[in-house]
Structure 1
Amino acid sequence: MLDPKKIEEFAKSITDSMPDGMKKMAEETEGKVKQVIQAQLARMDIVTREEFDVQSQVLLRTREKLMVLEQRLDALEKAEDETQPEG
């Protein structure tokens, strides 16, 4: 999930942008703003950059392994074709 500090900073920036008269009310509602933001982000099914990078590396390694296996299969098929009598 997303970094709670980032969410807190975002919620704080919203409350800081409010007029002074509303700051007290903003302080009371800051927790609710955090909850709403977290709930909305959770619904979006977002992954962190770290999770994305990890999955990208897993995919890269999987592709490399697949290429090696395809090459081995091609070599085996070629060897089999060469050993089978024609006819």
Structure 2
Amino acid sequence: MIDARRLEELAQRLAGVMPPALGPIRTEIEQNLRAVLQSQLPRLELVGREEFEAARSQLVQARERIAELEAQVAELEAQRRG
């Protein structure tokens, strides 16, 4: 979950890339961005870095195991043929 501080930083970053010519409406746009982010981000299924890295590690292990099993199957098939 994104905390209020990070949400504020994200809104400021997005507002920061807007052209300076927007001038007075820039603050209003930043407030609107903040409101949109606050309402929409909770709907996303975001995960923290630790959870992401754990899932990534499991995926790497699963891929390695699949490669091992594929090699075993290929070896067994070769033995059966010959």
Identity %: 28
Please list the CA deviations of residues 1-33 of structure 1 after superposition, one character each: whole Å capped at 9, or x if unmatched. 34xxxx14347779xxxxxxxxxxxxxxxxxx9
The answer for the alignment partner of 1:9 in structure 2 is: 5
Q: CA deviation at 1:56?
A: 0.5
CA positional deviation for 1:44: 1.5
Q: Where does structure 1 differ by over 6 angstroms across 4 or more consecutive aligned residues? A: 11-14
Deviation, 1:79, is: 0.2
SS in 2 for 1:53: helix
Query: What runs of 5+ residues in structure 1 fail to find an aligned partner?
Result: 15-32, 83-87
TM-superposed deviation, 1:47: 1.2
Aligned to 1:79: 79
- What's the CA shift for 1:41? 2.4
Q: TM-score, normalised by structure 2?
A: 0.55
Aligned to 2:29: none
Show structure 2 runs of 5+ residues with no match. 12-33
Which amino acid is 1:48 matched to?
Answer: G
Count of aligned pairs between the two proteins: 57
Structure with greater Cα Rg: 1
